Amino acid sequence: MEAIAIAKTPEAQGEARRAKEKEEEQIKRWAGNQPIQSSCVDILKPAMVKIYLALRGDSWTGELLYDAHFLLTAHDEIVMEAREDQAKAVAQIMKDCMQEAYNDVAKSVTLGPVDVTISDYWEK
């Protein structure tokens, strides 16, 4: 059962119309963004597996070759923590693995370069 409110004054009707339009625009943004974010996740997951394996010499049970660990992911980003003296090597592994994962998943779309940043903190 659904309750329907009826606006009685022209001002209330205009306010209700604007609220409905705002809600419809939000739904359109979500619908347009969903395929993009889903595609990012489809690429991010295999990239994380590739990075995990690369940090262990391509062995699931291998010892870590680098002192680096996943911290978080956000949309199309992977944030890792690594020792300062290993950061450049880990960044290159991440870049190569992310590019390879993209090429494996999205064969018909050209991707610009993968950006890697080394920082003392996560920058947005």
Joined together, the tokens standing for residue 87 give 């950061």
The torsion region of residue 57 among left (phi > 0), alpha (psi -120 to 50) and beta comes to: left
Looking at residue 11, what is its pLDDT?
83
CB atoms within 10 A of CB 49: 13
Q: pTM of whole model > 0.75?
A: no
* Interatomic CA distance for residues 95 and 48, integer angstroms: 11
Q: pLDDT digit string (tens) for 70-118?
A: 999 887 889 999 999 999 999 999 999 999 988 887 777 777 778 888 8
